[in-house]
């Protein structure tokens, strides 16, 4: 089975003895015995494996010398505290915390008393594999200072749904439960996603309170309009979960790019995308099925974060993103020359599917034929393969090498081994590997599933996500690596978030 934790740790990660015994339909005392003996009977292994996989906790080894593959949320970059106050839309927030968890966030959750009327701490724990906090005063020694511990070192605190009552108490500095104590003690950026009856929302008291909070720097994620759970129509619906997710994650990533802006005038990204086209004659060519979608998504998402983006693209059928500089090329040689012209950047991401060879027509007498004239159907022609330049390798070795050079590896088998080999041979800082198979066709598709491998050969696996989501995952990892590698150059005071 997995090789990364002992039985107690494993049970803890699944929510503790009580929840494991419920999940496996066995007695809590049986589970306690497993912990004591550090052993689980074989008959439960399969079921446990499934539970771990469902929670993205499984690690496995592809090869003897491979390191374990860990879910992408490990070593998470951003730390978020979600406070759930008591509204009917509480249940929707479960999907939000699942999204944060799935996407690499270090997440803590606090439930208010009223929220616990709608959802339980146990559901939260089983989603994030962590304790869900509810009490200000606890008999457990290490929880004595919950409100202070939870208020510290958070990149963001989100209150969702945020009730009219919670807004009012926040405005007046009332601290009569754990959640409100955290807010008073916190030095983090606070976001609120209100949800309430339209009349409560429009009430002058609520609106005045919101104005006060905004003046204090609290960020409001405005509610939507529509039919409410109470049957009335108007403004007060909790925004869609993906809206709250994008709003908060964009804030964090933007802050991240701004850090880099402090590093140089503006973070400069160079991206190649799409296939290359290798001319055989004026009307024939060799190419591949790359759509360019993943590279374009990376360009668009980096641009949204305020980076300066140059996109060098092979021929594609998709809309050109509105990047700072867009350069169209056909062949690998043209792509190389444009990459060299634009090598003055901070990060180079080579997502292009560059053709490895071109076909050169020869006569049987070994005479090279010109590719300027259409080749005639002629049995006397044969083709020699000529190797194309390896663009990313030449960038890696270039004197003007960007700080980070990141490649892609699309493979049909031995994915991790082949990707690692390329990482090493091409001297990359990171490689994004994806397996091309029937279920994960990738080329031309809207979805992708990737493994991110760094220089230390740590491997992190994503779920199957849209190419935009994958782009944000890659960006988050890239910025983290950039920060780790060059942290000493940052002006930390001006970048704290």
* List of long-range contacts for 248-252, beta carbons under 8 Å, 24+ apart: 248/80, 248/156, 248/158, 248/191, 249/78, 249/103, 249/472, 250/304, 250/305, 251/156, 251/189, 251/191, 251/219, 252/78, 252/155, 252/156, 252/497
The distance from CA 485 to its chain's CA centroid, rounded to whole angstroms, is 19
Q: Residue 90 catalytic?
A: no
* Contact window for ligand C5P (CB under 6 A) among 48-56, 126-134, 320-328, 407-415: 407-415
353-372 residues near ligand C5P, rule: CB under 6 A: 354, 356
Separation of alpha carbons 305 and 252, rounded Å? 10
Q: Does position 390 bind ligand C5P by CB under 6 A?
A: yes
**Contacts of residue 127, Cβ cutoff 8 Å, sequence gap at least 6:** 94, 97, 98, 101
Separation of alpha carbons 255 and 483, rounded Å? 12
Q: Does position 273 bind ligand C5P by CB under 6 A?
A: no
- Is residue 340 within 8 Å of residue 260, measured between CB atoms? no
Q: Does position 416 bind ligand C5P by CB under 6 A?
A: no
**Contacts of residue 57, Cβ cutoff 8 Å, sequence gap at least 6:** 2, 13, 14, 71, 129
Q: Does position 163 bind ligand C5P by CB under 6 A?
A: no
In the numeric block, the tokens 């339909």 are attached to 25
Min CB(393)–ligand C5P separation in Å: 7
Distances from the Cα of 129 to the Cαs of 56, 98, 145, 247, in angstroms?
Answer: 10, 10, 21, 24
Distances from the Cα of 38 to the Cαs of 3, 13, 199, in angstroms?
Answer: 13, 15, 57
Q: Does position 408 bind ligand C5P by CB under 6 A?
A: yes
Instruction: Give the DSSP per-residue string, 216-244.
Output: TTPEE-PPEEEE-TTS-EEEEEPPPHHHH
Q: Does position 392 bind ligand C5P by CB under 6 A?
A: yes
User: Among residues 157 and 297, whose Cβ is nearest to ligand C5P?
Assistant: 297
Q: Does position 134 bind ligand C5P by CB under 6 A?
A: no
Q: Does position 459 bind ligand C5P by CB under 6 A?
A: no
From the list 155, 350, 396, 476, which residue makes contact with ligand C5P (rule: CB under 6 A)? 350
From the list 192, 196, 228, 352, which residue makes contact with ligand C5P (rule: CB under 6 A)? 352
**Contacts of residue 6, Cβ cutoff 8 Å, sequence gap at least 6:** 38
Closest by alpha carbon to 471, among 420, 479, 346? 479
* Contact window for ligand C5P (CB under 6 A) among 16-24, 120-128, 248-256, 350-358: 350-358
User: 3-class DSSP state for residue 184?
Assistant: helix
User: Among residues 34 and 348, whose Cβ is nearest to ligand C5P?
Assistant: 348
Distances from the Cα of 73 to the Cαs of 50, 166, 256, 440, in angstroms?
Answer: 19, 31, 18, 22
Tokens at 283, concatenated:
């009307």
Please report which residue ranges of 225-320 form alpha helices under DSSP H: 241-263, 293-304
Q: Does position 451 bind ligand C5P by CB under 6 A?
A: no
Mask: binding to ligand C5P, 87-126, rule CB under 6 A, as x and -?
----------------------------------------
User: Among residues 346 and 390, whose Cβ is nearest to ligand C5P?
Assistant: 390
* Contact window for ligand C5P (CB under 6 A) among 74-82, 152-160, 384-392, 457-465: 384-392
Longest alpha-carbon distance in the chain:
92
Q: Does position 332 bind ligand C5P by CB under 6 A?
A: yes
Residues binding ligand C5P: number (CB under 6 A)? 14
* Contact window for ligand C5P (CB under 6 A) among 29-37, 186-194, 352-360, 465-473: 352-360
Separation of alpha carbons 96 and 93, rounded Å? 5
User: Among residues 352 and 471, whose Cβ is nearest to ligand C5P?
Assistant: 352
Q: Which residues make beta-bridge pairs with 190?
A: 157
423-442 residues near ligand C5P, rule: CB under 6 A: 426
Min CB(158)–ligand C5P separation in Å: 36
User: Among residues 84 and 392, whose Cβ is nearest to ligand C5P?
Assistant: 392
Q: Does position 391 bind ligand C5P by CB under 6 A?
A: yes
Q: Does position 290 bind ligand C5P by CB under 6 A?
A: no
* Contact window for ligand C5P (CB under 6 A) among 115-123, 260-268, 295-303, 383-391: 383-391
Q: Which residues make beta-bridge pairs with 452?
A: 432, 460
Q: Does position 388 bind ligand C5P by CB under 6 A?
A: yes
User: Among residues 198 and 407, whose Cβ is nearest to ligand C5P?
Assistant: 407
Binding site for ligand C5P (CB under 6 A): 332, 350, 352, 354, 356, 388, 390-392, 407-409, 422, 426
Catalytic residues: 230
């Amino acid at each position: 089975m997995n090789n990364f934790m002992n039985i107690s740790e494993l049970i803890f990660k699944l929510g503790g003895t009580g929840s494991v015994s419920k999940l496996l339909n066995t007695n809590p005392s049986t589970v306690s015995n497993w912990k004591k003996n550090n052993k689980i009977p074989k008959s439960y292994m399969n079921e446990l494996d499934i539970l771990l996989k469902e929670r993205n906790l499984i690690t496995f080894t592809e090869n003897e010398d491979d390191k374990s593959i860990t879910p992408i949320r490990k070593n998470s970059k951003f730390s978020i505290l979600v406070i759930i106050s008591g509204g009917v839309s509480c249940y929707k927030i479960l999907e939000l915390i699942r999204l944060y968890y799935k996407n690499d966030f270090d997440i803590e959750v606090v439930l208010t008393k009223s929220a616990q009327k709608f959802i339980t701490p146990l559901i939260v724990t089983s989603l994030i594999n962590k304790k869900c906090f509810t009490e200000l005063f606890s008999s457990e020694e290490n929880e004595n200072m919950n409100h202070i511990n939870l208020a510290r070192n958070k990149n963001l605190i989100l209150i969702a749904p945020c009730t009219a009552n919670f807004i009012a108490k926040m405005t007046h500095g009332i601290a009569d439960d754990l959640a409100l104590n955290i807010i008073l003690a916190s030095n983090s950026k606070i976001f609120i996603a209100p949800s309430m009856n339209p009349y409560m929302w429009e009430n002058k008291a609520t609106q005045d309170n919101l104005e006060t909070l905004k003046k204090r720097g609290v960020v409001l994620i405005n509610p939507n309009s529509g039919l409410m759970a109470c049957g009335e129509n108007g403004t007060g619906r909790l925004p869609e979960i993906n809206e709250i997710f994008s709003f908060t994650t964009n804030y964090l990533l933007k802050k991240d790019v701004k850090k880099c802006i402090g590093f140089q005038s503006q973070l400069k990204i160079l991206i190649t995308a799409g296939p290359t086209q290798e001319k055989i004659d004026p009307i024939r060519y060799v190419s591949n099925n790359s759509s360019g979608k993943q590279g374009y998504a990376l360009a668009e998402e980096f641009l949204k974060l305020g980076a300066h983006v140059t996109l060098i693209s092979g021929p594609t059928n998709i809309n050109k993103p509105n990047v700072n500089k867009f350069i169209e090329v056909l062949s690998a040689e043209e792509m190389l020359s444009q990459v060299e012209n634009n090598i003055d950047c901070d990060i180079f991401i080579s997502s292009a599917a560059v053709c490895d060879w071109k076909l050169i027509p020869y006569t049987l007498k070994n005479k090279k034929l010109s590719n300027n004239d259409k080749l005639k159907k002629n049995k006397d022609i044969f083709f020699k393969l000529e190797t194309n330049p390896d663009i990313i390798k030449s960038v890696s070795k270039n004197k003007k090498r960007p700080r980070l050079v990141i490649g892609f590896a699309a493979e049909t088998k031995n994915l991790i081994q082949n990707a690692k080999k390329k990482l090493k041979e091409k001297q990359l800082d990171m490689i994004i590997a994806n397996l091309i198979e029937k279920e994960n066709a990738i080329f031309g598709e809207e979805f992708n599933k990737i493994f991110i491998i760094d220089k230390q050969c740590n491997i992190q696996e994503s779920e199957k996500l849209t190419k935009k989501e994958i782009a944000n995952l890659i960006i988050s990892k890239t910025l983290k690596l950039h920060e780790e590698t060059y942290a000493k150059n940052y002006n930390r005071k001006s970048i704290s978030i």
